Amino acid sequence: MDKFIVSARKYRPVSFNDVVGQPSLTTTLRNSILNNHLGHAYLFSGPRGVGKTTCARIFAKTINCENISDAGEACDKCESCISFNENRSYSIHELDAASNNSVDDIRTLTEQVRIPPQIGTYSIYIIDEVHMLSQAAFNAFLKTLEEPPAHAIFVLATTEKHKIIPTILSRCQIFDFNRIRVEDAVEYLKGIAGKEKLEYEEDALHVIAQKADGAMRDALSIFDQVVSFSGEKIRYQDVINNLNILDYEYFFKLTFSLLEGDVASAMLLFDEILSKGFDPRNFINGYAAHLRDLMVCKNPETVQLMEVGAGIKEKYLSQSKEVTLQFLYSGLEICNQTDIQFRVSRNQRLTIELALVKLANLSGVSKKKTVTESKTDQLSASVQKKEPQTKSPQEPVAQIVSESEAQPVPESEVQPNVEKNENWNGASNLVRSTGISIKDGLRGTARAVEPMEKQSSESLEQHEMVPDKPQTAGPDAIIKAWKDYAASIEKTKPRIYSTLVNNSPVVRNDGALLVLLNSELQRDNFLKNIKSGLLAYIKNVTGLSAIEIVTEVSENTQNGKKIYTEQDKLEFLVGKNPELEKLKTRFNLDFDD
């Protein structure tokens, strides 16, 4: 059986063309060789696994090559190249500064530098991890580094340039290596998979490249690990299972739940993620990254900032159409604050769950229009229905004004309707002798209009909520008005909509509506925020001016089980963790309508 060689060694670049993700550096090194413009000391710095030592070896081999190509590449056929490839060259020396960091080691190196090369023109000394040299060793190395023999070239490599003393830095040409881009790493992995005759899913290779975090060596090590796990086909699901990575699908599902305002679904999904062993902080940071990716998908110019596979990118582009930038901005701020609070929180799970509640409360941002836009659109639609199709959008308002001025209505016919609508923004006291102004009516300004003109303005304002009145207002008409009102506020006030749908009224013999509510808290909320608007709507629709709504609190049971309200849940959590009450007070948190 052949001995296995890891991909990081088997496919290590042997020429400048093979180096991944460092085009500017390799071009500079090539040109310096072709133009015979070589310095005596170079410093290669950058993150791990980006090709510093590899480039140093290729550079050293090419310098001593006897038949350098016009492209600045070594021939791999001359004696110098063959001896280097067989690891027996006496002209190219490698020193590990991590284990040879004393003054005595540098003195030995200084003595060795005097010896001219046996093959080739230069003796090249590659010192890896040079930042590990001691202070005394650095000082002993200064003179040799500044004025070496004519045949000596030093190539220093380090991951921590800031630890090297300035006097050493000033004597070197410094090359800063970049992190390998995800796209470059994926292309390189594709080439290796092709050479190894392995099938792969592109999304799987993207996950490997992202996990490597810009280090090609790490990417190749992960690649070998995944191949050992999945066999001859590298699948996306196998990669995330083997590397214990949180699947993108969780974040897509969570976003849809939050857009629907479904807190329960979001918390259950979070619990499932925790049950699989994922760290809650990694979860919230991962979701912040998900929101960031959705944000860059909103602009065609920033889509290129995405570092995911083509299949997953399509999902991001699709979901980005469902959310607004305001939702994404607010969501990113919530995730950032949660990450800051996570480290000092005593109940870290609750910290994440509170963040999910806040994110769910942003759901209206992605679906609702502003109040002004909604009124303007609905007003235009209601006016256009009354006009011929050939009229322009601006003509109906002017025509209504002129008709109301030309055809006054006797006061006796208008007065009953005026009295019924006298709560409309105080507009019942407005009187005007010449005509109406829809804009003034919407603003509630104190303009004088004739009673009929005021009625016309009111009908335009309330047209979006009040359909034509039925000829008879029986129990069915009252219940229908209740349901219509609930439907009209489903998107703008989902909590009130839920209360109206789940607590349908009963019409008593005396004509009053009886509503059974689940708790005193729900009853107080109904009386404070729901009753007045609902009652006015039903009166306007049915024409019943004497109708009344009566509320009662029923037993908190359903199918033999207790129904817990939001207040009950909060009290239970406060009993478990009293600090929650302080958190609620500090951030002025309360239940939404």
Same domain, 63 and 129: yes
> Would you say residue 567 lies in a domain?
no
Given a contact cutoff of 8 angstroms between Cβ atoms, the answer to whether 460 and 426 are in contact is no
Given a contact cutoff of 8 angstroms between Cβ atoms, the answer to whether 64 and 92 are in contact is yes
CATH code for the domain of 286: 1.20.272.10
* Residue 332 to residue 159: CA distance in whole angstroms: 32
Tokens 């769910």 sit on residue: 360
From first to last of its 593 residues, the chain has per-residue pLDDT tens of: 567 888 888 889 988 988 988 889 999 999 999 988 899 999 999 999 899 999 999 999 999 898 888 888 888 888 888 988 888 888 889 988 888 888 998 999 988 998 888 888 899 999 999 999 999 999 999 988 888 998 999 999 999 999 999 999 999 999 999 999 888 899 999 999 998 888 888 888 988 998 888 899 999 999 999 998 888 888 888 888 888 888 888 899 999 999 888 899 999 999 999 988 888 988 999 999 999 999 999 888 888 888 777 778 888 888 888 888 899 999 999 999 999 999 888 898 999 999 999 999 886 544 444 444 444 455 455 544 444 444 444 444 334 333 444 444 444 444 444 344 444 444 333 333 344 444 444 444 444 334 444 444 444 344 444 444 444 467 888 888 888 888 888 878 877 888 888 888 888 777 788 888 877 777 788 887 888 888 888 888 887 777 788 888 876 544 445 566 677 788 888 888 888 888 888 888 876 65
Same domain, 50 and 148: yes
* Residue 21 to residue 102: CA distance in whole angstroms: 35
Same domain, 479 and 454: no
CATH code for the domain of 231: 1.10.8.60
> Would you say residue 372 lies in a domain?
no
Same domain, 406 and 549: no
> Would you say residue 531 lies in a domain?
yes
> Would you say residue 512 lies in a domain?
yes
Same domain, 432 and 339: no
pLDDT at 462: 43
> Would you say residue 92 lies in a domain?
yes
Count of domains for the chain: 5
CATH code for the domain of 543: 3.30.300.180
> Would you say residue 578 lies in a domain?
no
pLDDT at 556: 52
Longest dimension (CA), the chain: 120
Residue-range definition of the domain harbouring residue 454 = 388-462
Given a contact cutoff of 8 angstroms between Cβ atoms, the answer to whether 75 and 66 are in contact is yes
> Would you say residue 571 lies in a domain?
no
Residues of the chain by 3-state class (helix, strand, coil), percent to 5: 55, 10, 35
* Residue 11 to residue 18: CA distance in whole angstroms: 9
Same domain, 298 and 411: no
Same domain, 360 and 496: no
Same domain, 510 and 399: no
Same domain, 205 and 278: no
User: DSSP characters for 458-502?
Assistant: HHHHHTTT--PPPSS--HHHHHHHHHHHHHHTTTT-HHHHHHHHH
Look at residues 209, 224, 243 and tell me which one is the last residue of a structural domain.
243
Look at residues 554, 569, 587 and tell me which one is the last residue of a structural domain.
554
